Amino acid sequence: MTTNTRPLTATDRAAWEGLFAGYAAFYKVDQTPEMRETVFGWLMDDNHSSNCIVAEDASGTLVGFTHYRPFASQLRAITNCFLDDLFVDPAARGSGAAQALIGAVKAVAQEKGWGTVRWITAEDNYRGRAVYDKLATRTPWVTYDIKV
């Protein structure tokens, strides 16, 4: 299958919402239409740091997305890229869409002079990790969260 990647546009809203709802369901996160409205607003706001690249199949149907943003690395005095979310429709998995999306983010990072593209995934996301292990180096870092 041929996969094309490009920046999200306002006309992608309905397809993006369906994919984003699928992403939330995959991670068992309750999500409301208002939450999706907020995130889509961020993605459409040139002054917000959040960005989105979508993947579409040969027919132009959106089959995946990735959200990413810059972040500062004070220790190295550089800007890096954090790939916040990546989701491919289950029917399109194995098509190369995930690799294309990560490659597109890497290209943006290279263009902007960012040092590293970093992301996290669930320990039990075995299918995703099989792809990621071919594209990147797993780090030894452990992640912590504090609810506030």
The one-digit pLDDT tens for each residue of the chain (148 residues) are: 689 999 999 999 999 999 999 999 999 999 999 999 999 999 999 999 999 999 999 999 999 999 999 999 999 999 999 999 999 999 999 999 999 999 999 999 999 999 999 999 988 889 999 999 999 999 998 889 899 9
**Do 55 and 97 contact (CB within 8 A), yes or no?**
yes
Domains held by the chain: number? 1
C-beta neighbour count of 115 within 10 angstroms: 13
First to last CA, the chain: 44
Query: What CATH number is given to the structural domain containing 52?
Result: 3.40.630.30
145 within domain boundaries? no
- Roughly what angle, to the nearest 10 degrees, separates helices 97-112 and 126-135? 40
Range of the domain at 26: 4-135
| Confidence (pLDDT) at 1 | 62
146 within domain boundaries? no
141 within domain boundaries? no
106 within domain boundaries? yes
**Do 48 and 67 contact (CB within 8 A), yes or no?**
no
pTM: 0.93
| Confidence (pLDDT) at 142 | 87
140 within domain boundaries? no
Spatial CA neighbour of 84 closest among 60, 133, 33, 120: 120
Spatial CA neighbour of 5 closest among 88, 75, 129: 88
- Roughly what angle, to the nearest 10 degrees, separates helices 13-26 and 33-44? 120
